[in-house]
Structure 1
Amino acid sequence: MVEMVREVELGENSNLVNEVIGFVNSGLLLRSVNQVVLGGAEISDLATAKKYAWVQVYGEESFTWADLRSEKMSEVWDVVYGGGEKYTEMDIKLSELLDELSRSVQKQLLPKHRELLDDIVSDLKCCLYSRAVQGKTNEFFEGILSAYLSGGWPCGWVGGWPKGSLLVYRDDATDTGGIGDRP
């Protein structure tokens, strides 16, 4: 039984935030739903995906995948923490959901995916905040959400940052898109 994360009322973007919550509540995390992630590369080897997520560096600054996500999230935090009372209330409401979100994600993960818990919760939190603050205008986090909605785990980047595309691990991916066993 998947623990339900409650919906939240945040004003104009509530429906977008609640779409993310609805997905978490659907029990479809990392489950194939036969959708394709457009414009990204896919891999099916979990060990390789973890290397891309945790070891590989991207771009001239040699950012890790976590650094890239953090860099993109800083744009959202700038709005949240610089936007006054409206965003303070939103931050409180979303923060109250994070423990429920984490428990729900944890219950859905297969044993082989348990190591991914922190990354997945962090990604979904970023998607919630991005949608609350920016609607669907943040292409980076909308791409990450799209990867999850299609049953994948966004684990890195292919091509020179910021050009290129999202790399997505899927348990059932058959075509590696030329990625092979790098890095």
Structure 2
Amino acid sequence: MLKLNNSLVKESLSLVDNIKLFTNKQKVVEEIVEYCDFEKCKEFAYDYDEYLMDDEYYTWQDIKDLQMSSFNEEIYKYENYKTINEELRKIGIKNVSKIALSDECKEVWDDVYNDLMNCIKVRAILGKKNYFFEKIFQIYLSGGWPCGWEGNFPNGKVKVFYCK
């Protein structure tokens, strides 16, 4: 039977409550490519569709969706998947007003929120074992915005926006 890691969910939500998004880099994150041009990073995130994975091209959103889909497939293997899905739906970032949002971050907030929620949901089930979502979470905690991929996925590095 699958259970949520409630202590890690609480820890993750607490970290998000104190996050400083789209700021100068708060801590070092390995295996990333840094950018400081917000307009270019929006292109990477929303317009660029040449991220190569398994000999096919994808958008950044496609890559994130495929990673989340793989996670959901894991949940459906368990008999109690309906209960788990209900518990995952109850998780939410309650104190959004406490999160420091720059003008840039406000522009892409829906994307940021969904990324953070997906990271927390994956942590709730898998702990810190999913490389992709753990990397995304660490980037946000460092003040960055993951906005694309450099290289052939999954080999390569995450493109990250940081303010100067």
**What is the TM-score of this pair, normalised by structure 2?**
0.86
Supply the AA of the counterpart residue of 1:95.
Answer: R
2:9–2:124 contact (8 Å) kept in structure 1? yes
Aligned residue number for residue 94 of structure 1: 88
Q: Whole-Å Cα distance in 2 between the matches of residues 23 and 71 of structure 1?
A: 26
Aligned residue number for residue 55 of structure 1: 47
CA apart distance, 1:164: 0.4
CA apart distance, 1:119: 1.1
Aligned residue number for residue 70 of structure 2: 75
Bigger RCO of structures 1 and 2 (CA < 8 A, at least 6 apart): 2
Runs of 4+ in structure 1 over 6 Å off:
none
What pairs with 1:131-170 in structure 2 (closer than 5 Å)? 131-170=123-162
Supply the AA of the counterpart residue of 1:97.
Answer: I
Q: Whole-Å Cα distance in 1 between the matches of residues 113 and 162 of structure 2?
A: 17
Q: Which range moves more in the overlay, 141-150 or 13-22?
A: 13-22
* CA RMSD, Structure 1 to Structure 2 (Å): 2.3
CA apart distance, 1:167: 0.9
Aligned residue number for residue 6 of structure 1: none
Do the aligned partners of residues 110 and 55 (structure 1) sit closer, same or farther apart at CA in structure 2, a change above 3 Å counting?
same
Q: Whole-Å Cα distance in 2 between the matches of residues 68 and 160 of structure 1?
A: 11
Q: Whole-Å Cα distance in 2 between the matches of residues 166 and 108 of structure 1?
A: 23
Alignment length, in residue pairs? Answer: 160
Aligned residue number for residue 23 of structure 1: 15
CA apart distance, 1:17: 1.9
5+ residue gaps, structure 2, are none
Do the aligned partners of residues 105 and 134 (structure 1) sit closer, same or farther apart at CA in structure 2, a change above 3 Å counting?
farther
Match of 2:163 among 150, 160, 171: 171
Identity, in percent, stands at 33
Q: Whole-Å Cα distance in 2 between the matches of residues 110 and 21 of structure 1?
A: 20
Q: Whole-Å Cα distance in 2 between the matches of residues 105 and 144 of structure 1?
A: 22
Supply the AA of the counterpart residue of 1:64.
Answer: T
5+ residue gaps, structure 1, are 1-9, 173-183
SS at match of 1:34: coil
Do the aligned partners of residues 94 and 36 (structure 1) sit closer, same or farther apart at CA in structure 2, a change above 3 Å counting?
same
CA apart distance, 1:12: 6.1
